[in-house]
């Protein structure tokens, strides 16, 4: 493996790709390995920040939808108890609409 410049075409399964990645990582110098670890950490941090931002946006979107639904139900005279059950909002949130 140490003499190969690239992964052979018939080794396309993920397990072989991971094996070649590991072998390549082992052959790195200490400096190269440190740089690679920092690069991976930055990549993972960016992914986590992106995932968190997407989850937060989704939560805010769901909350806004619940508020809009509760507002419409309240205007139609639906009881607070039923709005609370349908929207998951608190009594205080519903009453403040």
**Helices 80-87/30-75 angle, 10° precision:** 160
Asked if the structure places residue 45 within a domain, the reply is yes
7 close to 17: Cβ distance less than 8 angstroms: yes
The whole-number pLDDT of residue 25 equals: 67
The whole-number pLDDT of residue 20 equals: 73
Per residue of the chain (97 residues), give pLDDT as tens: 556 566 676 777 888 777 777 777 667 787 887 888 899 999 999 999 999 999 999 999 999 999 999 999 999 999 999 999 989 999 999 999 8
Q: How many domains does the chain have?
A: 1
Residues 18 and 33: their CA atoms lie apart, in Å, by 16
The whole-number pLDDT of residue 3 equals: 60
Residues 57 and 20: their CA atoms lie apart, in Å, by 38
Asked if the structure places residue 39 within a domain, the reply is yes
Give the domain range for residue 91: 14-95
With helix as H, strand as E and coil as C, how does 51-78 read?
HHHHHHHHHHHHHHHHHHHHHHHHHCCC
């Amino acid at each position: 493996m140490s003499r190969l410049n690239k992964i052979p075409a018939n080794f396309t399964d993920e397990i072989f790709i991971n094996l070649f990645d590991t072998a390549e990582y082992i052959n790195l110098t200490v400096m190269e390995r440190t740089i690679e670890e920092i690069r991976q950490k930055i990549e993972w941090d960016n992914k986590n920040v992106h995932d968190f931002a997407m989850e937060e946006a989704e939560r805010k979107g769901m909350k806004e939808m619940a508020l809009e639904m509760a507002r419409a139900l309240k205007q139609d005279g639906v009881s607070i108890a039923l709005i609370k059950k349908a929207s998951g909002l608190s009594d205080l949130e519903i009453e403040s609409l």
